[in-house]
Amino acid sequence: MSASLVLRRRLAGELRALRMQAGLSQETVAEYLDASAYKIVRIENAQSSIGMSDLRQLLALYKVDAETRERLIDLGRNARKRGGWWSSYRDVLPGPYVQLEAEASQLRNYEPSKVPGLLQTPDYAHAVVRASDPSISPEEADRRVTVRMKRQERLHEDDGPLELKVLVDEAVLHRYAGGPDVMRSQLEHLLHTSERPNVSLRVLPYEAGLYPAVGNPFAILTFAESVDPDVVLCENRVGERYFHDADEVAGFHADFAQMTKVSLSEDASVTLIKRVIAEMGG
């Protein structure tokens, strides 16, 4: 498994801190490397990797001590490594989310209209993929579903499985995807998966009324190492938007905490899901 993106973010943060500590502007650093300021911006935002030659030059410019130099050079080497199961699915992955999720230790996910990808059955996932893009080819739909199922392996790892906290609006339980049989199987899958100790599933009932972020799905990714800051993903039809700023991320944490307060307990959520299944008949 490759941790290149997470490590690149860590290196970017350290390089940005060293530059500021040295009292240098991005323009000054760019001139030193005979590069554009845009390149430095991308490196410090982890949007692109830094070459080892440039990294060594920057560490010399920032006058870091020998121990720090060796540590950051080693970090730079590891950050440039490529790989991971997702490499074979770059054509159906719009952004870096899957790489981040693969290295996260905890995920908080709010979904107002559909079951989160990590809890979807294959049939339900196919229905979601087809609904989001009716013109998609059967081959690409299969690849997208395969990625979704592959992601779910994080929940079942023996060593450090992903801790998943999910909030879904009650509407998710009533909005059929793929027909009654597919939906019934999906709801039963939710009951089964919610029994895992690393999975928390809670429903925001209609009675909760309006709440923070209502109707706007988001995911908060937290990492095991404290030096790796949380990331928030907001996704809609036009693409993905990521939030890294500490204050912005804190706002999403506050929303999730408030939404958790007005949601049903885990036991009450299970009871509601069972009731919905029973009302479906069959």
pLDDT per residue as tens digits for the range 14-34: 899 999 999 999 999 999 999
Give the pLDDT confidence of 81-114 residue by residue, as tens digits.
Answer: 666 787 788 888 877 888 889 889 999 999 999 9
Spatial neighbors of 131 by CB under 8 A, at least 6 apart, are 177
pLDDT of residue 146: 96
Supply the pTM of this predicted model.
Answer: 0.81
pLDDT at residue 2, rounded to an integer: 46
Sketch the domain layout of the chain as residue ranges.
4-79, 87-280
Which ranges of the chain have pLDDT less than 70?
1-3, 81-83, 282
CB atoms within 10 A of CB 48: 14
Domains 4-79 and 87-280 share a fold: no
CATH class, 87-280 region: alpha beta
- So what CATH class is 4-79? mainly alpha
Query: What percent of the chain clears pLDDT 90, i.e. is strictly above it?
Result: 70
